[in-house]
């Protein structure tokens, strides 16, 4: 497929981020945040179908062509939220909307709940609530994360003899996605290395989280949302963490859409991207 976008760089005080820019200069401002280990190409099918929007699809820190966080820094949800807010500041967007997939949807929700005066709309794909754990699990989970950080120095990056091998590896890992979706993500996510290829993503992104919110804290964020929210859930996508989460979502003033397809339904094929776009058009057309 042919992908038409403008490549831009954003120099934040602490990191440089790369992004794809779509839409007219006077369009509604939208920041698009992709999922874990993906990149800005995640929105290559969807963004062109959302007319009238000025979409900045970021490579999140440590992903795609964006920079890594310095040694000793972390990739926590709130770190990504600050990055997004600083990007909006640099663009001069006092009020803006968020389009998020998976991890990007979770970060978008947290940012919108924390600063409701800044976020006009939320368009979310197969993601809303962060992974949580009960308070008594916090000490052992922190210990697990600290030990993983100590062991990280001895690990090597995976290396692939060809782009095709890397695509095959991506197809075997995580949630299923189409070959074309994997190829699109690989086109931005791979770097040549001595005649072979490796992923550009920071290896620290695979480390376990040192701290997670409790279920009560996650629910408090969801209930703090004040902007219109449209949530697409894929029938074969991320499982809802607990039955209570789905009950919570259905109790909130969220426009909930259930669509056939997998976790990357907005990228897997044109039909899925069109279906997701149709769900979001009403959200962005509202006054």
| Active-site residue flag, 196 | no
Mean pLDDT of 168-185: 93
pLDDT at 245: 87
What CA–CA distance (Å, rounded) separates 187 from 57?
Answer: 16
The model's confidence at residue 174, banded by pLDDT at 50, 70 and 90, is confident
Please name the helix (run of DSSP H) or strand (run of DSSP E) that holds residue 53, with its range, or none.
strand 53-58
- Confidence band of 241 (pLDDT split at 50, 70, 90): low
**Residue 35, pLDDT score:** 97
Please give the backbone phi and psi of residue 28, each rounded to the nearest 5 degrees, phi first: -60, 130
Read off the pTM: 0.96
Identify the band that residue 240 occupies on the pLDDT scale cut at 50, 70 and 90: low
pLDDT at 266 over 60: yes
Average of per-residue pLDDT across 87-108: 98
> How many angstroms separate the CA atoms of 114 and 170, rounded?
34
% of residues, the chain, pLDDT over 90: 88
Check whether 242 has a pLDDT greater than 80: no
Give the tokens for residue 60: 């999140």
The pLDDT value given to residue 160: 96
Q: Which of 53-62, 109-118, 189-198, 240-249 is predicted least confidently? A: 240-249
Q: Is the pLDDT of residue 243 over 80?
A: no
**265 φ, ψ to 5°?**
-60, -25
Catalytic residue from among 66, 102, 108, 230: 102
Residues in the chain: 287
Of 282, 268, 283, nearest in space to 46 by CA: 268
Where do the domains of the chain lie, and which CATH numbers do they carry? Answer: 6-134+212-285 (3.40.50.1820)
Q: How confident is the model at residue 246 (pLDDT cuts 50, 70, 90)?
A: confident
Question: What backbone phi and psi angles, to 5 degrees, belong to 200?
Answer: -75, -20
pLDDT score recorded for residue 183: 97
User: What percent of the chain is predicted at pLDDT more than 70?
Assistant: 98
pLDDT at 200: 96
Tokens read off for 258: 């259930």
Which tops the pLDDT comparison, 281 or 154?
281
């Amino acid at each position: 497929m042919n992908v038409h976008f403008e490549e831009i760089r954003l120099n934040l005080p602490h990191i440089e981020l790369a992004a794809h820019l779509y839409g007219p200069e006077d369009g509604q401002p939208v920041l698009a945040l992709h999922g874990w280990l993906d990149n800005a190409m995640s929105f290559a099918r969807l963004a062109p179908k959302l007319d009238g929007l000025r979409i900045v699809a970021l490579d999140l820190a440590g992903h795609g062509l964006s920079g890594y966080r310095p040694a000793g820094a972390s990739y926590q949800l709130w770190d990504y939220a600050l990055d997004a807010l600083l990007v909006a500041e640099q663009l001069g967007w006092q009020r803006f909307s968020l389009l998020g997939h998976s991890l990007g949807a979770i970060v978008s929700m947290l940012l919108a709940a924390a600063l409701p005066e800044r976020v006009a709309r939320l368009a979310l794909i197969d993601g809303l609530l962060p992974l949580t754990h009960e308070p008594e699990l916090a000490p052992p989970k922190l210990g697990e994360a600290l030990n993983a950080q100590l062991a990280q120095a001895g690990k090597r990056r995976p290396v692939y003899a060809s782009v095709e091998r890397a695509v095959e590896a991506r197809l075997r890992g995580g949630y299923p996605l189409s070959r074309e979706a994997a190829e699109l993500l690989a086109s931005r996510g791979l770097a040549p290395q001595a005649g072979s290829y490796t992923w550009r993503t920071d290896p620290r992104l695979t480390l376990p989280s040192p701290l997670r919110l409790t279920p009560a804290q996650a629910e408090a964020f969801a209930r703090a949302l004040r902007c219109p929210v449209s949530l697409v859930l894929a029938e074969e996508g991320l499982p809802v963490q607990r039955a209570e989460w789905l009950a919570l979502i259905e109790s909130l003033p969220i426009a909930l859409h259930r669509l056939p397809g997998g976790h990357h339904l907005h990228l897997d094929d044109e039909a899925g991207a069109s279906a997701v776009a149709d769900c979001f058009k009403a959200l962005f057309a509202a006054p």
